[in-house]
Structure 1
Amino acid sequence: MEEAIEAGRELLAGAGRVVVLTGAGISTDSGIPDFRGPNGVWTKDPEAEKLATLDHYVSDPAIRAKAWQRRLETLSTTYEPNPGHHALVRLEQRGALDTLITQNVDGLHRRAGTSPDRLVEIHGTTSDVMCLDCDDRAPIEKALDRVRAGEADPACRSCGGILKTATISFGQGLVVDDLARADAAARRADLLLAVGSTLGVYPIANVVPLAKVHGAPVLIVNGGPTEMDDLADVRIEGSISEVLPALVG
């Protein structure tokens, strides 16, 4: 591993425009479980995937009520950024971070200090709720207060429509502007650093081969194998909250 870390440091030292793609693995050391790992949310409870599927959510009030209870339980716990998140902030402070694309909705990159103008939250955020009918948006705490007060499935106060977190569910399209930002970043990258992702979620996983074909080396840091290990110039398997600080310094 020491040889791989040294090789990764050399890649970072030679890159002026690092584009980072992060997945659930960067947040597991903050106490947030991943989805498809051995102890993942969907591995342990396959029914939980329905809560993140738009058709099920819209058509079934019972699914929405269960989703609100789960949000109440999950978001009542305070999760803190870990050394992996902070290492990427230091990369930005050095002037080397071009764009950080995250598949995560936990908001920990923002809390760690990553600049919003450098950040693409490709799957949205759990910090807000939005109405599926009128697109009204508000902090999630307002909706959670209504659930605490006894509303099983709080409706939009502007139009009466269905509320959900401002995240991208299965069956829901990604934000076009976010996809365009990610695509442009991959094309101009000097280095693509993929962290904590199995690189099996599309279309955003495509930034890895896109950067590669435009001449950027690929550095993969993950707790296990990924679907794009064959594209890696350097691959490091280990604890992300330990490896990233060792790489960035």
Structure 2
Amino acid sequence: MTEALDRAAELIEGADALLVCAGAGMGVDSGLPDFRGATGFWQAYPAYVRLGLRFEELADPVHFVDDPTLAWGFYGHRLDLYRRTVPHDGFRVLHEWGARVFTSNVDGQFQRAGFTDVAEVHGSIHHLQCVEPCTDDVWPADDVVVDVDPESMRATGPLPACRNCGGLARPNILMFGDWSWIGGPSQKALDALVEFRRAHRNLAVIEVGAGLAVPTVRRQAELASAVSGALIRINPREPEVRHGRGVSVPMGALEAITELARRIG
């Protein structure tokens, strides 16, 4: 492990720029739930055990049309959770290193930690759009508060409304089987990331907390590090790096980043 961490620190110090590619595991050390499999999801949300609902079933845009109080119960609870969560110290370290960010997370933790250049490939729970959608408008959810009954996990009271047509609003998150997601803001950030990568050929990539189930983040990390070979894969469960093109660090996010910071100084 010491050898891997030493090599990872060398890759970071020898690079001209740093890109962080983060999956859900990045937020676990901040206290955010691990949705890995039905068991992990139900441990975080025991109410859904009684209802027999899995994450994949709830994260479906059809509920905003067919059962909006169920849909907003799930996303309203998550919105409140993410607002109350304080990013762990690893976020601070990465920010001090001047890292750019690509993430599949929708929690806004990087922005809360001070990052401005964040490409959110699946959108953000902190922004809304129309369910229809009536336009391609996306707006902040800063003033949105959704009351949720803890027993039924359903939203109570008024639901968020579209600021253009007055109909129902939903989070600007790419869900399963989602044909109504407005991806313009995410695409703009992704295009800017492409330009960043083109401008920095000697790029080190820290991939953290990204599993194999949804390989979006892994693919981005491998693509971004293809030229330099400077990939640092931090993952306690699935840390293997293909063809020796990088360094495998089988640790959690906070522990690994803290150890790297000690070496870099």
Whether 2:187 is the aligned partner of 1:176: answer yes
Paired residues of 1:12 and 1:248 also in contact (CA < 8 A): no
Shift of 1:248: 2.8
Shift of 1:176: 2.9
Q: 1:69 aligns with which of 63, 70, 73?
A: 73
Aligned equivalents of 2:43 and 2:195: distance in 1?
Answer: 34
Whether 2:57 is the aligned partner of 1:50: answer yes
Shift of 1:159: 0.4
Aligned equivalents of 1:146 and 1:157: distance in 2?
Answer: 20
Q: 2:234 aligns with which of 221, 224, 227?
A: 221
Counterpart secondary structure, 2:97:
helix
Shift of 1:247: 0.8
Counterpart secondary structure, 2:125:
strand
1:48-90 Cα distance to aligned partner (Å, 9 max, x none): 3233223x23542x1x311212233333341000022112112
Q: What residue is the counterpart of 2:122 in the other structure? A: 123
Aligned equivalents of 1:235 and 1:204: distance in 2?
Answer: 16
1:17-51 Cα distance to aligned partner (Å, 9 max, x none): 11110111010111111322585327976533233
Aligned equivalents of 1:197 and 1:84: distance in 2?
Answer: 16
Q: 1:75 to 1:146 in 2, by over 3 A?
A: closer
1:168-227 Cα distance to aligned partner (Å, 9 max, x none): 22234644333333444445352121011115535554322323432332110112115x
Q: 1:198 to 1:66 in 2, by over 3 A?
A: same
Q: 1:75 to 1:176 in 2, by over 3 A?
A: closer
User: Which is worse superposed, 197-206 or 140-149?
Assistant: 140-149
Counterpart secondary structure, 1:127:
strand
Q: 1:163 aligns with which of 145, 166, 169?
A: 169
Question: Match of 1:13, as an amino acid?
Answer: E
Within 5 Å, give how 1:193-232 maps onto structure 2. 193-201=206-214, 203-226=216-239, 229-231=241-243, 232=245
Paired residues of 2:73 and 2:146 also in contact (CA < 8 A): no
Within 5 Å, give how 1:73-84 maps onto structure 2. 73-77=77-81, 78-84=84-90
Counterpart secondary structure, 2:232:
strand
Question: Match of 1:49, as an amino acid?
Answer: E
Counterpart secondary structure, 1:155:
coil
The count of residues paired between Structure 1 and Structure 2 equals: 237
Counterpart secondary structure, 1:125:
strand
Relative to its length, the structure with more helix (as a share) is 1
Q: What residue is the counterpart of 2:106 in the other structure? A: 105
Q: 1:6 to 1:146 in 2, by over 3 A?
A: closer
| TM-score, length basis structure 2 | 0.76
Aligned equivalents of 1:18 and 1:194: distance in 2?
Answer: 11
Q: What residue is the counterpart of 2:32 in the other structure? A: 32
Q: 1:15 to 1:199 in 2, by over 3 A?
A: farther
Question: Match of 2:78, as an amino acid?
Answer: T
Q: 1:53 to 1:149 in 2, by over 3 A?
A: closer
Within 5 Å, give how 1:140-159 maps onto structure 2. 140-144=141-145, 150-151=157-158, 153-159=159-165
Paired residues of 2:212 and 2:238 also in contact (CA < 8 A): no
Q: 1:162 to 1:37 in 2, by over 3 A?
A: same
CA RMSD across the alignment:
2.8
Unpaired runs of at least 5, structure 2: 149-154
| TM-score, length basis structure 1 | 0.81
Question: Match of 1:52, as an amino acid?
Answer: A
Whether 2:23 is the aligned partner of 1:16: answer no
Paired residues of 1:183 and 1:207 also in contact (CA < 8 A): no
